[in-house]
Amino acid sequence: MYFLNSEERKQLFGGFLPRARSQPVSGELRGWNWHQPPLQPIYDLKLSLFEVANRYCPTGRDLYLRRVLSVEGQPNIPMIEGAILHKTVAEVITRAKRFIYQKGIDNFLEVKEDLARPDYAAVEEFRERLSEEEAGDIKEKVKILWEFESTRICSKVEELLSTQPHINEDSLVFHAIPVVVEQKLDGAFLGLSSHLSVDAFTFATPVIFDLKFDVKRDFHRLSTTGYGLVMEAMYEFPVDIGCTVYAYFRGKRILLERNFYLIDDELRQNFIEERDEKMRMVYEELDPGKPEGCYPTCPYIETCEGG
C-alpha cells in the first residue's frame, strides 16, 4: 500500500518536495507552535482526530450524539470491514519485519514461506458481528490483500539482497520496508486524543499516509493534516506532504490510487477551524440539527431519525 512506484517517486522528489521548500508553511501554522493561537486549543477537552476530520455527517450531529448525549453507535459492515482490512495491512508489514529479525537474512526463504500464510485473526475478532456470508466475503478480501502486500514486500527484500551482499537485518528492514505502521501519537498539545494512531509514516522523506477503503472525499485530507500537525508538535520537524491511499477490490484484484498533496496553510487552517467548531459544539452542548440527508452507513442513523 505504501511502496511507491518509479513514477510516484519522481513525482514526490521532483515535484512535491521542491514545492514544499519554495512554498513554506506559515510559522503560526506549524505544529510546534501549539502553545499560541491559532493552534492553541480554545476549550479544555480532547477530541479524537477522526472526530475532527470526519465530515460524513454534514452537520456533525454524529459527534453531538456521541459526545454530548453519550449515544453508542452501532458499527455496520463497511466499518467493520474497513477496520479488519486496516489491521491486515499493518499486520503483514509488522510480521515481515519481525520474521526478518527473528530468522535472519540467510533464512529468507523460510521468511517467504511463513509470510505467505495469511493471518485471519482480525476477522475472528469481529466474528460475532458477522454472518457466515459476510465473514466469508471479508476473509476472501483479507487473503487477496495479504498476498498482494506480502508479495510486494518479498520482492523489495530480494531486490536488495541481490545487490547488497553485506547488508544486515536492520539495514535490510529499513531500506526494503521503510514505513512505520500504526505509529502512536499524543495529540494533547493540540486538544486531541493522547492515543492517536497514524496508518503509516516514512521518516526518510516525511510523508503521512492514510489508507482508505472508500470513495474519494474532499475531507479525507484533513486526517493527514491533523497527524502532520501532531507530529510537528511532538518532534519539532516539518511534515509537509500527505498521501491518501485509496484501495479498491475488483474481483480478485486490488486497484490502488495514491493521492499526494502538500499539507499547506489552507489545509492546516481548515483543520483548526473544524477542531474549534466541533470543540465548541461539545463544550457548549449545541445540537447542530439533523442534516438534510443522512449517509446510509451512519452508525447513529436510527437514533438521529428517531429524535
Phi, psi of 62 (to 5 degrees): -60, -40
With the C-alpha atoms ordered 275, 277, 278, 284, is the resulting torsion angle positive or negative? positive
Chain CA centroid to CA 180, Å = 11
pLDDT in tens, 228-237: 999 999 999 9
pLDDT in tens, 121-163: 999 999 999 999 999 999 999 999 999 999 999 999 999 999 9
Determine how many CB atoms are found less than 10 A away from the CB of residue 119.
15
Establish if 1 belongs to a structural domain. no
Is pLDDT of 48 > 90?
Answer: yes
Establish if 190 belongs to a structural domain. yes
| Structural domain harbouring 153 | 6-306
Q: How many domains does the chain have?
A: 1
Are 203 and 161 in contact by the 8 Å Cβ rule? The answer is: no
Are 202 and 190 in contact by the 8 Å Cβ rule? The answer is: no
Establish if 78 belongs to a structural domain. yes
pLDDT in tens, 161-206: 999 999 999 999 999 999 999 999 999 999 999 999 999 999 778 8
pLDDT at 297: 84
Q: Predicted confidence band at 283 (pLDDT cuts at 50, 70, 90)?
A: very high
Establish if 158 belongs to a structural domain. yes
How far is Cα 100 from Cα 95, in angstroms, rounded to an integer?
A: 9
Give me the amino acid identity at 85.
L
Query: What integer best gives the mean pLDDT of the chain?
Result: 94
pTM: 0.94
